[in-house]
Structure 1
Amino acid sequence: MIRFDDERAFAQALDALPQPDDVAVAAAAARQTELTKPAGSLGRLEEIALFMAGWQGSARPALHKANIAVFAGNHGVAARGVSAFPVEVTEQMVGNFRVGGAAINQLATACGAELTVVPLDLDRPTGDIAREPAMTADECLAALNAGAAVVTPDTDLLLVGEMGIGNTTPAAALCLQAYGGSAEDWCGLGSGVDAGGVARKIAAVESAIAVHGPHCINPFETLRRLGGREIAAMAGAIMAARMLRVPVLLDGFICCAAIAPLVAAQPGFSAHCLAGHCSAEQAHAQLLDQFGMEPLLRLGMRLGEGSGAAVAVPLVRAALATHNGMATFVEAAVAAGL
C-alpha cells in the first residue's frame, strides 16, 4: 500500500513518476495493424486499448477489476451560502451510498465496478478557505493517505468520486490558483445555486486566493490551504495509482480540480488518466483543455460521485474486447489491406 510519510515524501513522489511501458504500447499497436478492420477504423477505442496496454505493461490489457472510490468531506466555506443544500446532506448521502440508493450505486453495478465509500471526519468541516487554511499539514496528509489506501496493485482501472456540500468553491479556488484567470471563470452553478449563490461563491474564491495565494508554493500546500479532505483524498488516490501504474478514469470538475495543482506543477502527471466525461459545470471544459484532454463522453451530467466516469467504463471494456477478441487477418483467413 502506498503511504506518504510527510509532505516531502509526497513531493518526491511527484518528481519520480513512473512512465508507461513503451514496449507494451508498441506490441499492442502492432496487434492493431493485424486485426480484421481498416487501420484506425475503431477510432478512440484503439487509443484506449493502447493507453491501457502502456499502464498495465501488457500488449493484451485486461479489465477484470474496476474500483470506484467515493470520498466525502464537509467544508467550512459552505456556511457562506455557496451551495443550494445544507451541509447535513453530505452525511445523509453517505448513508444513501451505503444502502445502495444513490446514482453511483446503480452505475457501479451497471459497469461492473466495486464501490468503496470513504467518509472523512464529516463532523469536522474544514476551515473556511476565505479566511483560513482548509486543513493543517497533518490533516492534509491524513486525507492524502486515506485516498492512497484505497488503491491496490491488482486494480485494473480506478475511478474516484466525491460528495461534499460546497465543494465546487474550493475546486474553483484550486483551479484559479493553478491556472489563473478570474474567479468568475471557475465558478459555476455547482449544485444549482441562484445568481446570489454564484456571487457569494465568487467572493469566497477571490478572498481565498488573496489570503492563501502567496503561500501556495507547492501542490501540497495548495491542497492544504484551498482544498478539502475529500479533494485531497482524490489527489492521494490518483497519485497512488500513478505510483502503482494503475490507469485512472477521471470524473467531473471536482475530481479534476483535485489534481489541478499536481498537473500545473508536473504537466505529465495526468498521463495515466483518461477523462471519462465533460460535465455541465462550466469550468470543467476549460480545465480539461488545460490538461490537454478530450473527454470520452459529453452527456450534460453534473452529479459528481464518480458517476460520469462510471458511465464511460463500458467504453474501456469495448476497447479491450475488440483489441483482445478480434481475429487477425491470418486467423480469419481474410486478405489484408482492407
Structure 2
Amino acid sequence: MTTSTLSRKTETRRPPTDSPARRTLRGRRRRERWWAVLFLGPQLAALLTFTLVPLGFALVLAFMKWDGLGEKSWVGFANFRDQLGDPTFRGAVGHTLLLGVITVPVGLVLALLIAMALNNVRGKTIYRVVYFLPVVTSSVAVAVIWQMLLASGDLGMLNNTVHDWFGITLPDWLNDPDWVMVAIAAVTIWSSLGLNVVIFLAGLQSIPAHLGEVARIDGAGPVRVFRHITLPLLSPTIFFSFVVAVISSFQAFDQIYVLVDPVANDGARTIVFQVYELGFKKFEFGASSAAALLLTLMTIVVTLAQFGMQKRFVHYES
C-alpha cells in the first residue's frame, strides 16, 4: 500500500468538520478557555494594575522631573547623571554592597553548619520551627527588639551586660558610622538564618545516604565526604540560596529604618533608603525613580554574573 493511498484512507476516516464529535470537542475547549480566563483573570489584572503599570510609569518617570503635584518636565538622563555624581548615592551603593559582602557568606556558612549539625539528630521538625520563627516574625518587631539590645546608654542591654560582667566597653553599635553596618548585618543574618537552615536541611536530606557510606567504606574521612560528595550534590541548593540572599541584601530597608536613622547616621544609608528619601521626603520622584532603576540594573548585572559562573561551581545531576 502506497503512502498516498494510506493518507487518503486516513483522511476518509476522520470525522467531518461539522460532525457532532468535532462540535463537542470545540465546545469543551471553549469552556476550558473560559474557565482559564475566570481563574487567571483576577491575578493577571492585579499583576497588570499593581506591578506592570507602576513599573512602566517608574521607567518613564526616571527621565522626568516631577514633585508629585506640578507639571512633569522631560530631563532625559539628567537624573541618572545627578545620582551617579552624588556622593550620597555612591556612599549608599558602597553600604549596600558592604551589607551583602557581610551577610551573604556569613549567613550561608552558618546556615550550612547548623543544617549539617541538625541533619542526623532526632526531632528535626522541632528545630526547624525554632530556627524558622525569626523568619515569620514581623521585621519591625525584630528590629525593635534588637534596637533595645544594641542601644547605647542605660537602655543598651548588650553593652551594659558586657560592661558589668567583663568590664569591656563595646562600641556604640547604632550611632557609630564605623560599626552600624556590622550591627545591621548581625540583625539581618539572625533574622534570615532560619530560612537558609530549612532550605539546606531539605537539600541534605535529598542526598542519597549510600553515597557517603560507600565513601567511608573506601576510607574517606568526614572532610573528604563533605568536599567530594555533600558539597557538589548540595551546590544547586547553595546557588539558589546565594542568589536569593544577594537580592535580599540589595533590598534591605525596613529593619534599617527601624534600627537607626540613616539621615543622622550616614553609614547606614542604603540604595533603597536613598530611593525612599528622594521620593517620600524630598518629593523628587524623577530622581527617586532613577535611583530605583539603577538599583534594578545593579541587581540584574550581579544576578546574571552569578548565573554565568554557575557552570563552574554548580553540579546538576544528569
Please classify the TM superposition score into its range, dividing by the shorter chain length. Answer: under 0.3
TM-score normalised to structure 1 length = 0.24
Task: Decide which structure has greater strand share.
Answer: 1
TM-score normalised to structure 2 length = 0.25
Task: Decide which structure has greater helix share.
Answer: 2
Rg comparison, structure with higher value = 2
